[in-house]
Amino acid sequence: MKFKDYKYVRPDIEKYQVKINDLLSIIGEDIDYHEELQAIKNIFDLNDELSSMSTLVSIRNSLDTKDDFYQKEQDFFDENGPKLEMYQTIFSKKIIKSKNRKELEKELGTLIFKQAELQEKTFSKEIIPDLQKENRLSTKYSKLLAGAEIEFKGKTYNLTQMRPFLQSLNRETRHQAQLATSGFFEENEAELDKIYDEMVSIRNKIAKTLGYDNFVQLGYDRLGRLDYNANDVKNYREQIYNEVVPLAAELVERKAKRIEIIAPKSYDLTLSFKSGNPTPKGDLDWQVNIAKNMYEEMSNETGEFFNFMIDRGLLELDSKPGKAGGGYCTYIPKYKSPFIFANFNGTSDDVNVLTHEAGHAFQIYSSRDLIPQYRWPTMEAAEIHSMSMEFLSWPWINQFFQEDTDKFKFYDLDSGLSFLPYGVAVDEFQHEIYTNPELTPDERKATWRRIEKKYLPYKDYDDDKFMEKGTYWYKQGHIFSVPFYYIDYTLAQVLAFQFFVLSQENHDLALDKYIKLCKLGGSKTFVDLVESTKLNNPFKKGTVKSVIEPIKAYLDNIDDTKL
């Protein structure tokens, strides 16, 4: 069966409630262990069905945000999702107190119980209306950006379609493309400020209702962060500031020499080479075919996975009007199917997003038979799989980029390093926002620009006065939709760099370690996954420095002026 034939039926909420209440009445009671275990498994199946319908709606709504049917169905889930979350909280309370807990832990593992204890803290009936509002605001933001219509050079483009102009060899084209893109955000400034203002307010209210001082710790608890806290992340950000920011500034200087521009502006930072950024040498179908051959040659496991994706039509990669921006991987439990969504635009991002999201998809495919709570790891661990897959594809990358291969490799490592300061800037911004939820929109913009100057001191917006006042964060959907998520990418990048270094020494060993990590899914916490795979913990002082040194050495051995 292909994805297009995966059937969606709106769930009957009343029937779901009757079924789950019947099952919940069995759990935690004075009953036989086997009967209780079966009730738990039946709940998993019931929730998988519900999750599958919700995910199908989310995918089809993002494929065409103008489709009225799936917009209404998305509204249905935005409205009902928070109500149904209550049952997960009841489930959590019951399994925690089960008299059979020790036996259940042997069968299900201990992590599900730790997760349940965290779940209990993050939800109550009182916050259902606020969660519904939070969902509606997130959907409103996504729809606003997906509907962007930017007039440029006599044609109309969405935000994704503007990216090639932002990387143009012609400096004035890049300049004007940035101004045109900024123009869209400036036109919607009041609306974006209103959406975010309401988001911060409602999240702070939810946190207070649940007994938190502010949203910061609630944000961490929502993301299932069991083995590190905001202070650990603060210390990690300091490592990035001390070790990576100077190197990123040095890489900008090297770039300026390559593209022969003195005092580069923000619109110059998107161009890496005077001869143009590396680009894949074929269209979408050509790239998918190369990826198919690559994954078949990489290993039996990756070959089986990618052919499953192709055969079932689980790759939606083209960019078209009305389609939501960005890229993602999700999972449809009923059909045991990962799904990859992207917006190809002819840049190297096409290959990056394909290998990145394939890393996510391969992980969930590898752990699809685990219990629902263990199929996905927490988000920062999930990004290890995606970012590491980008590097594990290097032995085949010449097939995508041909004469641009060396250029791409330099660009890939340069981009990865240069991303780290931006990633921690996004995180520090969110900590300041939710620690000080009373900040006005103007104060938030000033806060962003101050933090941006700290971590990206070389970013000069020239005559783009709108971005100069501190609005670049409008573009970062994670800030709106998944608060505190973005640091996950940087943590994973540091770990992916470790896979890169190992793969340069022994690709087979790196791949074997990677596949084992994927099969673990989310059966361990982030730090436990890292340590069980014998990777260095990024929160430990000195880890960032030890990881960055071989990457810097690799880049220093390349004469990038010839690229």
| Torsion of Cα atoms, 186 then 188 then 190 then 195, to 10° | -130
Q: Is the pLDDT of residue 419 over 90?
A: yes
Helix (H) or strand (E) holding 219: helix 215-222
Tens-place pLDDT, residues 506-541: 999 999 999 999 999 999 999 999 999 999 999 999
- DSSP 8-state secondary structure symbol assigned to residue 486: T
Q: Is the pLDDT of residue 30 over 90?
A: no
Chain position carrying tokens 């390093």: 417
Report pLDDT for 326: 85
The residue type found at 147 is G
Residue that the structure tokens 């709570």 belong to: 373
The two structure tokens encoding residue 424? 């921690």
Q: Give the model's confidence band at 119: pLDDT under 50 very low, under 70 low, under 90 confident, else very high.
A: confident
Q: Which residues pair with 315 in a beta bridge?
A: 340
- pTM of the predicted structure, to 2 decimals: 0.88
* Residue 405 neighbours by CB under 8 Å, 6+ apart: 278, 397, 398
Helices (H), 367-486: 372-375, 379-392, 397-401, 405-435, 441-455, 465-468, 477-481
Read off the pLDDT of residues 363-409 as tens digits, 9 standing for 90 and up. Answer: 999 999 999 999 999 989 999 999 999 999 999 999 999 999 999 99
Q: Residue 551: which of 511, 485, 513, 500 has the closest Cα? A: 500
- The predicted pLDDT at position 307 comes to 98
276 pLDDT higher than 90? no
Please, are residues 22 and 91 in contact by the beta-carbon 8 Å criterion?
A: no
Instruction: Tell me: pLDDT of 104 over 90.
Output: yes
Please give the structure tokens belonging to residue 64: 């065409």
Three-state secondary structure call for residue 316: strand
> What confidence score (pLDDT) does residue 160 get?
87
pLDDT tens figures, 490-512:
999 999 999 999 999 999 999 99
* Proportion of the chain above pLDDT 70, given as a percent: 100
Question: Span 114-139, mean pLDDT?
Answer: 93
| Sign of the alpha-carbon torsion through 465, 468, 471, 477 | positive
Percent of the chain with pLDDT over 90: 93
Q: Is the pLDDT of residue 141 over 90?
A: yes
Mean pLDDT computed over 47-54: 98
Q: Go through 338-369 and write b for each residue having 16 or more CB atoms within 10 A of its CB, e for each that does not.
A: bbbbbbbbebbbbbbbbbbbbbbbbbbbbbee
**Unique residue bearing structure tokens 């020494």:** 505
pLDDT for the residue 29: 80
Give the CA count within 13 Å in the CB-facing half-sphere of 10: 12
Residue 325 — pLDDT band, cuts 50, 70, 90? Answer: confident
Are the C-beta atoms of 130 and 202 separated by less than 8 Å? yes
Query: Considering only CA atoms, which of 137, 188, 159, 141 is closest in space to residue 325?
Result: 159
φ/ψ (deg, to 5) at 244: -105, -35
| DSSP for residue 521 | T
pLDDT score at 277:
87
Which string of DSSP letters, residue by residue, matches 261-285? -SS--GGGTT---TT-----SS-HH
Give the model's pLDDT for residue 19. Answer: 97
Q: What is the pLDDT of residues 58-77, one digit of tens each?
A: 999 999 999 999 999 999 99
The reported pLDDT for the residue numbered 85 is 85
Instruction: Give the end-to-end CA distance of the chain in Å, rounded to a whole number.
Output: 46
Give the closest residue to 401 by CA, choosing from 260, 273, 290. Answer: 290
pLDDT > 90? residue 175: yes
Model pLDDT, residue 82: 84
